[in-house]
Structure 1
Amino acid sequence: MLSRSTLPTPLGLLVLVHDDEGLLWAAEFHEDAAAIGASLARFGQEPLIEADVPLPPHLKEAFLGYFARAFDSFDEVMTGRFGTPFERAVWAAVRAIPPGETRSDRAIATLLGDPAKARAVGAGLARNPLAIIVPCHRVVGSAGELIGDASGLERRAWLLRHEGWRPPLGRP
């Protein structure tokens, strides 16, 4: 059974979806149940059955640790297995980017063996259901600029600054 919990953060309410074993299936900065449900359905998961349950202590500690600058706090968080093989490879590459550092989508595509797949990397990142755990905020454009949907740019910049990132000269 999947359950939904919420956690207040400096960036607003974080919605976390987890199962009875404590595996994390989604972490999103919005409460749009339909959007979260659609994301989970894409990965073949059941719809949410239980909402607004207490967050398992290990997940709460991991997220609070991150916001307290313990950037290794997600190392032991187990997530559900989802995504295509390519998406899983992209997400693993992004998880390997150290806090406060960035990589371009082209650099990730090159790391995965095909620099021409930069757009596919971007598409895989857009389907990432695990905000902060899979730190898409660390992926930037080829010129070092923040990329992504306009509504998330401020949050991405905040997360990077929180991790100690310094933008290239002339960039916010």
Structure 2
Amino acid sequence: MIVYEIYPTAFGDVCIAAEDSGPQAGLVALGFVRDGQAPGIRPGWQRRSCALTDKASVQLGEYLAGNRQAFDLRLHPPGTPFQQRVWTALRDIPFGETRSYRQQAEALGNPKAVRAVARANGANPLAIVIPCHRVIGADGTLTGYAGGLELKARLLTLEGARFTRQGELL
């Protein structure tokens, strides 16, 4: 059964969902609540916490406080085989570093798949834990992020990453 709970963080409320038992146990969704809407919630999911959502909440809090650079969580995001490959590659981007969509496509061995990589990044159901916020435009500018560009800038600043916003190197 998939369960979810909403947890407060220093960056706003976050909804964390997990398959709480069995061979598929792991996090399936994590996203910031925007305009009162918890992202990714599906009919049939039950609102209650479990050990996995609680552990993710603690680790996310540590990350947002600047006390954690990597997550130690069991993940089970639903997605196509291509999306899974893209999300695995995202997890290989070190804390505090960024990549362009082209660099990410090249890392997957398909430099022409830039748009497909961008779509897969946009479909990432596990914000921050699968760090799609570390992917920026080839010119160093911030590009789309499901949580909004302001949140993306805050996350990259927290990590000490360099990026450009409105022509200004940050």
TM-score, structure 2 length as denominator?
A: 0.84
**C-alpha spacing 1:149/1:163, structure 2 compared with 1 (3 Å):** closer
Kept in 1, the 8 Å contact 2:77–2:126? The answer is no
- Give runs of aligned pairs for residues 17-32 of structure 1, distance below 5 A: 17-21=17-21, 23-30=26-33, 32=37
Letter in 2 for 1:170: E
More helix by share: 1
Kept in 2, the 8 Å contact 1:3–1:48? The answer is no
Residue 60 of structure 1 aligns with which residue? 57
Residue 8 of structure 1 aligns with which residue? 8
Counterpart pick for 2:120 among 117, 124, 130: 124
In the aligned structure 1, how far is the partner of 2:146 from the partner of 2:127? 16
In the aligned structure 2, how far is the partner of 1:124 from the partner of 1:135? 12
In the aligned structure 2, how far is the partner of 1:49 from the partner of 1:84? 21
State the SS of the aligned residue for 2:46. Answer: coil
Kept in 2, the 8 Å contact 1:71–1:99? The answer is no
- CA distances 1:80-129 after superposition (whole Å, capped 9, x unpaired): 15211111111111111111110000001011111111110000011100
**C-alpha spacing 1:60/1:102, structure 2 compared with 1 (3 Å):** same
In the TM superposition, residue 151 of structure 1 has moved relative to its aligned partner by 6.1
**Residue 71 (str. 1) matches residue 76 (str. 2):** no
Kept in 1, the 8 Å contact 2:2–2:17? The answer is yes
Kept in 2, the 8 Å contact 1:125–1:136? The answer is yes
Residue 167 of structure 1 aligns with which residue? 163
Kept in 1, the 8 Å contact 2:77–2:125? The answer is no
In the TM superposition, residue 131 of structure 1 has moved relative to its aligned partner by 0.6
- Give runs of aligned pairs for residues 35-50 of structure 1, distance below 5 A: 36-37=40-41, 47-50=43-46
Structure 1, unaligned stretches of length 5 or more? Answer: 39-46
In the TM superposition, residue 5 of structure 1 has moved relative to its aligned partner by 0.7
How many residues are aligned here? 161
RMSD over aligned CA atoms reads 2.1
In the aligned structure 2, how far is the partner of 1:151 from the partner of 1:61? 20
**Residue 134 (str. 1) matches residue 130 (str. 2):** yes
In the aligned structure 2, how far is the partner of 1:62 from the partner of 1:2? 20
- CA distances 1:22-44 after superposition (whole Å, capped 9, x unpaired): 611100112535x5136xxxxxx
Percent identical among aligned pairs is 37
